[in-house]
Structure 1
Amino acid sequence: MVYTQKFYTADTHFGHQLMLSPTACARPFADTREMDEYLIGAWNSVVRPDDVVFHLGDFAFGLKDGIRIRSIFNRLKGRKRLVLGNHDFIQANQVHPVIASLAWDGPPAAMVETTDEGHRVVLSHYAMRTWPGQHKEAYHFFGHSHGKLPGFGRSRDVGVDCPDVGYAPATFRQLAAAMEMEAVETEEMGVSL
């Protein structure tokens, strides 16, 4: 029996030139091809074929090149589930046909709930101030903010631009441990949340 892990990531923005700009994310790559190859390598270095990866939106950009996007998708290990982000739509309420045509392991959705390590985890592209089960110790993972929006309680950004993930999907345990460490550091500074 193969042991399956769950991973979380967001905001890969495959093919998106703006991610390299100093006024945006300032990803340290010469061009989008180098960025895409690095992201694929980082993903495949941690994810195994039977693992599940929850991608919390903004999978790719420049979706006119559907062949390239499909090629990237097919090179990524794991069973991929999409929580829709703003760049995954062609217009309001219409998922981009290239994104919709990818072999997701379940239909893309605006919000998804899962359990991991015995915890309820609420997944969305956007950060929520409150989320289902928040007062019953549920976690909330989001993307969209590219590592610029601090976490709140049991909520955090899981996107590739967060400094603690190294451009790769991360497990619940890794993400929760980083949250606990941040809470301890905040407490030591005398700041209460």
Structure 2
Amino acid sequence: MTYFTADLHLGYKKILKFRKHFNDVQSMDSSIISLWNEKVRDKDEVYILGDLTHQSIDVNTTINYIEKLNGKKHLIIGNHDAHLITNPKFRHYFKSIDWMEMLKFNNNMLTLCHFPLVEWTDSHRNVGEGKSLHLYGHTHDSKTEGVYEFLKENYPYALNVGVDINHFEPVTLEECKRNNATFFKI
């Protein structure tokens, strides 16, 4: 099975300002790790589209989190991950680490990037088909910064894989499509 996720921000206390249903960072971390491991098996592939932790979290703490997560992990670097990638200890825990990746998947071409893009490979050919999809994170569940409305109106084939709209767990492509449909409908 292949899963996608983004913006876990494990160990980052200030994210609780937006994730008010968690009492503290320990309960948030515990919940995210538990939901991940209930779903993901060791043989499964998981694409993390950035911000596994936060730039203020050191490499060894981040590695402790990674070691708790099932699956074969791939990292698409987010704005809070760049400081980690130069450390050889960190790289050992991932099958791949890239700034962006294109992936042929179930008859679709996926463009994976931490940030939402306005163009990606074959995005202009998507009329009615949705064979070329863009998966992104970074925006969390924000509906106040203009990006939400822009994506809702113009980019039905761009899908947010962030934990904040995907029930704090990695999702399959189909689950992601359903969760995005619900998020953008509200």
Q: For the superposition of Structure 1 and Structure 2, which TM-score range results when normalised by the shorter chain?
A: 0.7 to 0.9
Is the CA contact (8 Å cut-off) linking 2:12 and 2:57 kept in structure 1?
Answer: no
Is the CA contact (8 Å cut-off) linking 1:88 and 1:99 kept in structure 2?
Answer: no
Alignment pair present for 1:79 and 2:72:
yes
Could you tell me which of 11, 28, 33 is aligned with 1:15? Answer: 11
Judged with a 3 Å threshold, the aligned counterparts in structure 2 of structure 1 residues 97 and 128 are, in CA distance, closer, same or farther, namely same
- Which SS does the other structure have where 2:120 is aligned? coil
Is the CA contact (8 Å cut-off) linking 1:84 and 1:110 kept in structure 2?
Answer: yes
Q: CA RMSD in A?
A: 2.3
Unpaired segments ≥5 residues, structure 1: 187-193
Which deviates more from structure 2 when the two are superposed, residues 78-87 or residues 41-50? 41-50
Q: Which residue in 2 is equivalent to 1:142?
A: 136
Q: Which residue in 2 is equivalent to 1:159?
A: 162
CA offsets, 1:22-74, max 9 Å, x none? xxx2242222121111110111111111110000001112322x433222111
Q: Could you state the TM-score of these two structures normalised by the residue count of structure 1?
A: 0.79
Alignment pair present for 1:171 and 2:172:
yes
Is the CA contact (8 Å cut-off) linking 1:116 and 1:172 kept in structure 2?
Answer: no
How far apart in 1 are the matches of 2:89 and 2:5?
A: 16
How far apart in 2 are the matches of 1:47 and 1:27?
A: 26
Is the CA contact (8 Å cut-off) linking 2:49 and 2:136 kept in structure 1?
Answer: yes
Unpaired segments ≥5 residues, structure 2: 126-130
Q: Could you state the TM-score of these two structures normalised by the residue count of structure 2?
A: 0.82
Aligned residues: 171
Q: Which residue in 1 is equivalent to 2:34?
A: 41
Q: Which residue in 1 is equivalent to 2:128?
A: none
- Which SS does the other structure have where 2:103 is aligned? strand
